[in-house]
Amino acid sequence: MSDLHNRKVYHPNEEFAKNAAIKSMDEYRALQDEATNDYEGFWGRFAKEKLDWVEPFTNVLDESDFPFVKWFDGGKLNVSSQCIDRHLDARGDKTAILFEGDRGDVQKITYKELSKNVNKFANLLKEDFEVKKGDRVVIYMPMIPEAAYAMLACARIGAIHSIVFGGFSAEALKDRIQDAEAKVVITADGAYRKTKPYMLKPVVDTALEGETPVKKVLVVERNNEEINWVDGRDYSYHELIKNKSDVCAPEVMDSEDPLFLLYTSGSTGKPKGVQHNSAGYILWAQMTMEWVFDVKEDDVYWCTADVGWITGHTYIVYGPLAMGATTVMFEGVITYPDAGRPWKMVQDHKVNQFYTAPTAIRVLHKMGEHEPANYDVSSLKVLGTVGEPIDPPAWKWYYEEVGNSKCAIVDTYWQTETGGHVVSPLPGATPIKPACATLPLPGIMAEIIDEEGNTPELGEKGLMCITRPWPAMIRGVWGDKERFIKSYFGDVKKDGKPVYFTGDGAVYDKDGYITITGRTDDVINVSGHRMGTAEVEAAILKDDNVAEVAVVGKPHPLKGEGIFAYIALKSEVSDEEAEKKSINNIIKQEIGNIALCDHIIFVPGLPKTRSGKIMRRILRSIAKGEEITQDISTLEDPSIVEKIVAMAK
């Protein structure tokens, strides 16, 4: 980070800034001051202005049971109404969801049509599946409009959805179904990838083998491939939806009634069911759409994430629809048939805001450096990035080749737990620097501090924390209050009080800009997907011949990080390659392809302290090919390090 303080500054496009939601740094500071001086007044004002309340709230923030907080207590609303009903008069014929299928098939679903589809879906869940307020519904779906209908239908009847990314294995799906005690699964027969059909329903069948809380499965037919139907359990969406009424009164929800769970990896144990509630979440989803993406009435906005991740929740479905935007949903692969696909889509649909992950930017850069120039991408105004720290070369390419040096890049830093962006440039206000998330958004008290709450010396790494509760923050870990407190409020204190720690390291530059340096815990970020080392290790340990394992992240030119596993076997094998394959096969079964190891080495033992703690720092250094500078004299067997270094070469 030697050039941290001397990065080039790019100022907002003046023409753009004139009409931006936040037009200048003065406006930004005024909002920030408003929040600092009267935190509850600030949030109360926006909650009143932005949300359609059935009954107004009586209290803005209740921290009496911190870290379990309540926002907008007494208020009643429905998130699906916020996303649909309130737009019907003003923009009923506007496209809400612009779907492009893998094979180029396009569907434009207006707000009126969305309303009908969601209401029918809600009636189906209520009438045929007896889903009630508070019930959990697992959604295991491809990127098709029905996934959004399913989410909003749950929100409409007060059911809590829990989406499991379609790349997760049957075992991972089963764990999540059981932890959430879901009574319904919504899935599809499958979908298309690179024009070929792939399947999801068989994975659900396997996940439901044995004892399961699931009573019914709804199957959306997307590719019409042959699937297995279990009598009395599996139902066709297309059959059931036919005779449903398109009117379903929205369930009146309390501000703090749960909206969804989303399982995410932590540094220890199994994935956690991150719980988000209704009012605070939808408020911030909507506000950040306005502030960070600056979406205008006639704009077309495209986020390339999958609905299986938080980015898909907040910035494909809830945020864009809450503000009445046109949101693009894409089933395919952005590099298929070639690396011009996204730019062709930008041209075809006149996309104004484009939001993707650094890993995608690196791949598009590598595969098609000059592809953007082959298309008319002049409609673009704001480019976004999320999911991992972006590297300056990728940033520069994005800015120059995709954005034609005229679009703002919003490097949005946030997490599943924060619900929406927390540190990000504002495209009409913030001067940006390459690969820098810049400043906390107004109302978010994000600070880099050390464990005692002090600001680190300039240029020194510290811990990325949020020192006051914010409306879209995680409300709990499903079924585990202790884990919620321990995971997020255990490590850092400010003024003697625990504060929310993100798990990321960060550093200030001389202008007070925040640059995220990556996770400080045992979480690996593979292509922008969070993987807990503990989860991958638990999977590998299912191999009977594995005695011990430690996995770490290794920098990867495209994926950001790849997984590197050090494995001690119980007995030697004659064919190491076959053993590696079989280990990766287990990972595929237990978690899914996203957690496959790039590197596996078989070692005689792991470097451990005398108390038995694995020294991961050393293993991380070895994986990176760095010189070992750590003191290894405290290890139980220091000679092991030398042996591993030799083997890793």
Helix H or strand E segment including 121: helix 111-127
Which of these, 365, 364, 363, 343, lies nearest to 354 by C-alpha position? 343
Q: Of these, 306, 411, 535, 537, which contacts ligand WTA (CB under 6 A)?
A: 411
* 273 lies in the binding site for ligand WTA (CB under 6 A): no
Helix H or strand E segment including 358: helix 358-367
Beta carbon of residue 29, minimum distance to ligand WTA (angstroms, whole number): 22
Residues 6+ apart with CB under 8 A from 517: 1, 389, 461, 504, 505, 506, 507
Q: Measured between alpha carbons, how far is 377 from 401 in angstroms, rounded to an integer?
A: 10
- In DSSP terms, which residues pair with 253 in a beta bridge? 77
* 387 lies in the binding site for ligand WTA (CB under 6 A): yes
* 504 lies in the binding site for ligand WTA (CB under 6 A): yes
Restricting to residues 431-490, name those near ligand WTA by CB under 6 A. Answer: 437
* 70 lies in the binding site for ligand WTA (CB under 6 A): no
Helix count (H) and strand count (E) of the chain? Answer: 21, 32
Helix H or strand E segment including 184: strand 184-188
Q: Measured between alpha carbons, how far is 176 from 163 in angstroms, rounded to an integer?
A: 9
Residues 6+ apart with CB under 8 A from 320: 289, 295, 301, 303, 326, 327
DSSP character at residue 409: E
Beta carbon of residue 198, minimum distance to ligand WTA (angstroms, whole number): 23
Q: Of these, 161, 201, 276, 530, which contacts ligand WTA (CB under 6 A)?
A: 530
Q: Of these, 283, 444, 465, 516, which contacts ligand WTA (CB under 6 A)?
A: 516
3-state SS assignment for residue 411? strand
* 310 lies in the binding site for ligand WTA (CB under 6 A): yes
Count, residues near ligand WTA per rule CB under 6 A: 23
Q: Of these, 237, 413, 488, 513, which contacts ligand WTA (CB under 6 A)?
A: 413
Q: Cα 259 vs. chain centroid, distance in angstroms?
A: 16
* 398 lies in the binding site for ligand WTA (CB under 6 A): no
| Cis ω before 337 (30° cut-off from 0) | yes
Beta carbon of residue 517, minimum distance to ligand WTA (angstroms, whole number): 8
Q: Measured between alpha carbons, how far is 372 from 384 in angstroms, rounded to an integer?
A: 16
Residue 410 near residue 383, CB atoms below 8 Å? yes
In this complex, which beta carbon is closest to ligand WTA, that of residue 332 or of residue 419?
419
* 311 lies in the binding site for ligand WTA (CB under 6 A): yes
In this complex, which beta carbon is closest to ligand WTA, that of residue 368 or of residue 434?
434
Copy the structure tokens of residue 425: 């440039």
Beta carbon of residue 567, minimum distance to ligand WTA (angstroms, whole number): 26
* 302 lies in the binding site for ligand WTA (CB under 6 A): no
* 264 lies in the binding site for ligand WTA (CB under 6 A): yes
Restricting to residues 338-377, name those near ligand WTA by CB under 6 A. Answer: none
Beta carbon of residue 414, minimum distance to ligand WTA (angstroms, whole number): 5
* 386 lies in the binding site for ligand WTA (CB under 6 A): yes
In this complex, which beta carbon is closest to ligand WTA, that of residue 281 or of residue 309?
309
* 275 lies in the binding site for ligand WTA (CB under 6 A): no
Residues that bind ligand WTA (CB under 6 A): 264, 309-311, 386-389, 411-416, 437, 502-504, 516, 518-519, 525, 530
